Structure 1
Amino acid sequence: MPAKSATTESEGFTAQERAAMKERAAELRAEGKKGAKKADGLQSVLDRIAEMAPEDRALAERVHMVVTATAPELTPKTWYGMPAYANADGKVVLFFQDSGKFNYRYSTLGFQDAANLDDGDFWPVSYALRQWSPVVEKKVVELVKAAIS
């Protein structure tokens, strides 16, 4: 059993987890409204990136640029308050979790089950991002291409 976090309230969810669930509920309500457009999702992603701390924002902007250039068929949207990119079925393929979201020491690039990254019985679905570099960019491009293949 994992150690209890200082922010965990009596076996319940942390304040950050409750906030993420509320964000997701609002996202689902917005998606259910008639007239919701791809532009709305893009604006939500850009707004969320703008709210991030400078270090996380720089990473999120790079991830956003790579994903939209590499996989323009994915639709930007927020998912539990995080920038995410969904396939034509509306299923999230990948997302960016900034380090401030749950007070982690690094940001994360994560992939959902709609991503085509399966490799036998064991494969990574989440990657820590601490700094952007040409090597990191190349790896992210490769992962995004594989995820949508």
Structure 2
Amino acid sequence: MANDGFSADERAAMKERAAELRAEAKREKGAARAAAELQDVLDAIAKLDEGDRAIAARVHELVTAAAPQLAPRTWYGMPAYALEGKVVCFFKAAGKFDARYGELGFNDPARLDDGSMWPTVFAITAIGPAEEKRITELVERAVGR
């Protein structure tokens, strides 16, 4: 295959996203869809290596507690949380892209605006009480609480 500018990990993530879109098109609506998407997130977390799995599981718990209106779903094969179909925040595992840290990222729908410049991605290597508090604050702010 010619060099298309994407790494093997990036191509795999794009394939996962394409599979997610195909699955979404076939899914029922309402509670059955929400349950299936939640299970997809739990399955994605379970597939991660031990360190990423522990962080992703805790991020999942914190996000769903801080903003129960966000719907868990996968996004490029990673846990994500959407409002009205738009991903607000997501976790990107370190092992997935051979990075030294995982990431908690926020997309455009997140209300994190702070002047004319603000961070949208946060590196995570471990989660303790300080990180739990910060993640909770960020998620609450992202959804306007």
Class of the TM-score when normalised by the shorter of the 2 chains: over 0.9
Give me the whole-angstrom Cα distance separating, in 2, the residues matched to 1:34 and 1:83.
Answer: 18
In the alignment, which of 120, 123, 137 is matched to residue 125 of structure 1? 120
Give me the whole-angstrom Cα distance separating, in 2, the residues matched to 1:70 and 1:121.
Answer: 26
Root-mean-square deviation (CA, aligned residues, Å) is 1.1
Once the two structures are superposed, residues 15-49 of structure 1 have per-residue CA deviations (whole angstroms, 9 ceiling, x without a partner) of: 10000001001111111114150011100100000
Aligned to 1:39: 35
Structure 2 SS opposite 1:78: strand
Matched, 1:52 2:51: no
Structure 2 SS opposite 1:43: helix
- Show structure 1 runs of 4+ deviating over 6 A: none
Equivalent AA in structure 2 for residue 28 of structure 1: L
Identity over aligned pairs, percent: 57
Aligned to 2:7: 14
Cα distance change, pair 33–137 in 1 and its aligned pair in 2 (3 A): same
Aligned to 1:145: 140
Equivalent AA in structure 2 for residue 72 of structure 1: P
Give me the whole-angstrom Cα distance separating, in 2, the residues matched to 1:85 and 1:146.
Answer: 14
- Relative to its length, the structure with more helix (as a share) is 2
Displacement of 1:10 after TM fit? Answer: 3.4
Equivalent AA in structure 2 for residue 18 of structure 1: R
Give me the whole-angstrom Cα distance separating, in 1, the residues matched to 2:130 and 2:63.
Answer: 16
Give me the whole-angstrom Cα distance separating, in 1, the residues matched to 2:141 and 2:99.
Answer: 27
In the alignment, which of 40, 60, 82 is matched to residue 86 of structure 1? 82
Displacement of 1:148 after TM fit? Answer: 0.3
Q: Can you give the 5+ residue segments of structure 1 that lack an aligned partner in the other structure?
A: 1-8
In the alignment, which of 82, 85, 96 is matched to residue 91 of structure 2? 96
Give me the whole-angstrom Cα distance separating, in 2, the residues matched to 1:11 and 1:35.
Answer: 35
Normalised by the length of structure 1, the TM-score is 0.91
Matched, 1:65 2:58: no
Aligned residues: 140
Q: Can you give the 5+ residue segments of structure 2 that lack an aligned partner in the other structure?
A: none
Normalised by the length of structure 2, the TM-score is 0.93
Give me the whole-angstrom Cα distance separating, in 2, the residues matched to 1:42 and 1:31.
Answer: 13
